[in-house]
Chains A and B, each alone.
Chain A
Amino acid sequence: MNSNEVKYTREHEWIKVEGKLARIGITDYAQKSLGDVVFVELPDLDRELKAGEVMGVVESVKAVSDIYAPCTGRVITVNEALLDSPELINQDPFGDGWMVEVELDGLDEELLSAQEYEELVKEEAE
């Protein structure tokens, strides 16, 4: 995967756009900060997401964290494997740990490039 196709939010989601289709998940930094993920709540199919709104929840043993939509659009697929195996988010956050696919209507205007996101993570880690 060419990381240049991928954009990031300040809340640690990633979004990979291919034409009208976008796939969304949380970043490696996010899964590491959360620790063992034990529960995921994903949006319903066909839900019309608005960029910036809460679209789901990810819970680790100790923490509950909202997932924010990085785009506007209709949910066309959710990763149902996560319901029984939420640990996929820890094991492969950019791959098998993806969360939803969306028919894209528009991206959040505040999305970060890979380089900008890397800088944000560096700042937060300090």
Chain B
Amino acid sequence: MEMKKTPLYDTHVKMGGKMVEFGGWLMPVQYSGIIEEHQAVRSAAGLFDVSHMGEVEITGKGALALIQKLITNNAAKLNIGKAIYSPMCYETGGIVDDLLIYRLEEDKYWLVVNAGNKDKDVDWIRRHQTKDAQVADISAKVGQIALQGPKAQDILELLTKTELASLPYYHFAQIPVAGIEALVSRTGYTGEDGFEIYGAAEKIKFLWEEILRAGQPLGLLPAGLGARDTLRFEARLPLYGHELSADITPLEAGLSIFVDWEKPDFIGRDVLLQQKAAGISRRLAGFVMKDRGIARAGFQIEKDGLLIGEVTSGSYAPTLQQNLGLGYVKKEEASIGNEIMVVIRGKRLRAEIIKTPFYKRGQNK
């Protein structure tokens, strides 16, 4: 299969990005180094190409009703200029994808979905489409870059006249950035303050270069998917294919706050309600390695010689300087302080369940 390339592919190669395959796309996994880029985002800022993400535009009188049927969160709360996060479920309660929903106009919404899930998502959305809602896959026309870190606002304000302090978390504005029409959203996937900036695909290269130029004196580094993963991992933000899948429900994934039970109907509601009443049998938990070793996705978790779960993500955590992991474990073994064993290359190594998120901005100093 031919790998897909974002509008920034040539820029990444020219700037020394190390290109790898991710979800069918050729993306930079790192520039200067994952740890250096990670630390830049925690202390100053990092710039990520996330143009591989999919954008689905839903318009028409029936747009809201369609979205309400598809997602577990409540899009009726969305004023124009606001965004929400939500899982999208199958009838079984398993997760199709997790996404952001933006309300751009009265009857115009954007769903921003994971790159590797985009085609599946579009099929799923179209299967539930009604006559009064139009669904358009606009992914190829839209580029996206993420400017993340405590200096993100200072950097972006060098390129726009809009005062960004008044733009709250999960709000967005359609404003020019470096003279380019952009949708600037105060959202992100790193656990830091920052922005996700959408623009026409053919303008993204210019935006990328302008933001880098403006931000470099303030410590901005171009960053790759490697740092994006360690940053989201420390902040316990789930990654589809790891913490989320068709076999996992939002309740098990710790995403209950994104399930609105007041909503009379959405796909998966019946099963999720039953699971809520009966109680979940496993849940996502975080752990720290006590013995020397790094837990990786797919490794088994044991307690007293019995299999109690599986690792979904594991890494050296650059901010916390510990080897940490996330995984699904039996609910009765998921309490904080419980000692578990992770099987690493045939060896049983000690780990302890700890509180998540591992990293919360302003709380780990």
Give A contacts to B, CB under 8 Å: 35-36, 38-39, 41, 57, 59-62, 64, 83
Contact = CB atoms under 8 A, between A and B. Distances in A.
B35 interface: yes
Contacts of B293: 39, 41
B294 A39 contact: yes
Interface of B: 18, 29-30, 33-35, 226, 229-230, 292-294, 296, 315-316, 318, 323, 345
6 contacts: A39-B292, A59-B294, A61-B226, A61-B230, A61-B315, A83-B292
A61 to B, nearest CB: 4
In the A-B complex, the 8 residue pairs with the closest CB atoms: A38-B316, A61-B34, A36-B35, A39-B294, A36-B33, A62-B226, A36-B34, A59-B294
B345 A62 contact: no
The interface residues of chain B, by DSSP majority, are classed as mixed
A41 B294 CA distance: 11
B34 A39 contact: no
Given A39-B323, A61-B316, A62-B226, 8 more contacts: A35-B34, A36-B34, A38-B294, A38-B316, A41-B293, A60-B34, A61-B34, A61-B226
Contacts of A59: 294, 316
Nearest to B345: A57
Nearest to B229: A62
The interface residues of chain A, by DSSP majority, are classed as strand
Contact of B29 (A38, A62, A83): A62
Contact of B30 (A35, A64, A83): A35
B294 A62 contact: no
Contacts of A60: 34
Contacts of A62: 29, 34, 226, 229
Contacts of B226: 35, 61-62
Contacts of A41: 292-293
Nearest to B35: A36
Contacts of A64: 294, 296
A39 to B, nearest CB: 5
A64 B230 CA distance: 16
